[in-house]
Amino acid sequence: MAYQPCHDQLYDQLYNYLTKFGILSDCQFGFRKSHSTTTALLDCTNKWYVNLDRKLFNLVVLIDLKKAFDTVDHQILLRKLELCEIKGQAFTLLKSYLTNRNQICQVKNVISSDRTIICGVPQGSILGPLFFLLYINDLPQCLNKTKPRLFADETNLTAAGQSITELENAVNSDLEDLRKWLIANKLTLNVAKTEFILIGSKPMIKGTTDFHLNIKIDNKPIKQIQECKSLGVIIDQYLSWNSNTENICKK
């Protein structure tokens, strides 16, 4: 009987290969060694502070994807594995792992007929998150004017500049490219939960009160907010951390 490596060994071999050849995007902080929510937040906020010191605004769009892990298309994922030069027996093994999976649903004593799963990464598996990282690994490549930062499916895009009009044009341009990328990869944006925040010093923000930012995707407006919660931390438009400190003190 041929030896079948366990899931942990499959994960280690695949992750080591991706790391050795630098395949995973530097913009991705989720499910990677020496990466965490802390390193993701430090990377974001450090750059935002540098921009503020240079008297630049940060326009940050907080992307919300609908059931991203559950809508990964298997055929697209397999094609991306091939593009990563995963071929031969390794590809065959991973393809076998993904395909011919069935699921049933039980409500009380009633059990449904089984259905073949054609999308989504296997739930509760060690390989599932790594498959997802590979699936969205090329997302940063579709962007030209904003800097993306990803923690698995939690994504933000940052544009920096002195001109509000310049920022608006840059972000809307990249959001249109993102829309096309999402369609090509059969993923869906939750526009209602996607928001943006303009980060600057108090004098800078005060000078924009008469300016209405029109940020949109697929001709649908995105809501502007003054503070947001990202990776468990509350961030406001001044990077003051007051709201986050108050929230910690309440607990």
pLDDT averages per 10-residue partition of the chain, 251 residues? 62 95 97 95 97 97 95 97 95 91 89 90 90 98 97 96 96 98 97 96 91 93 96 95 90 69
What pLDDT, on a 0 to 100 scale, did the predictor assign at position 210?
82
- The rounded distance, in Å, linking the Cα atoms of 146 and 133 is 20
Look up the domain containing 246 and give its range: 3-250
User: What's this model's pTM, rounded to 2 decimal places?
Assistant: 0.91
What pLDDT, on a 0 to 100 scale, did the predictor assign at position 5?
52
Instruction: Catalogue the long-range contacts made by 214-221 (C-beta closer than 8 Å, 24 or more residues apart).
Output: 214/168, 214/172, 215/59, 215/61, 215/168, 215/171, 215/172, 215/175, 216/172, 216/175, 217/172, 217/175, 217/176, 217/178, 217/179, 217/189, 217/191, 218/179, 218/189, 218/191, 220/191
Phi/psi class of residue 214: alpha, beta or left (left: φ > 0; alpha: ψ in -120 to 50)? beta
- The rounded distance, in Å, linking the Cα atoms of 124 and 142 is 30
At 86, which amino acid appears?
I
What pLDDT, on a 0 to 100 scale, did the predictor assign at position 6?
66
What pLDDT, on a 0 to 100 scale, did the predictor assign at position 100?
87
- The rounded distance, in Å, linking the Cα atoms of 150 and 136 is 9
- The rounded distance, in Å, linking the Cα atoms of 105 and 87 is 35
Name the residue with tokens 């240079």: 54
User: How many residues are given for the chain?
Assistant: 251
Structure tokens at 229: 């919660």
Whole-angstrom CA distances from 87 to 81, 94, 109 are 8, 10, 44
For the chain, how many structural domains are there in total?
A: 1
What pLDDT, on a 0 to 100 scale, did the predictor assign at position 3?
42
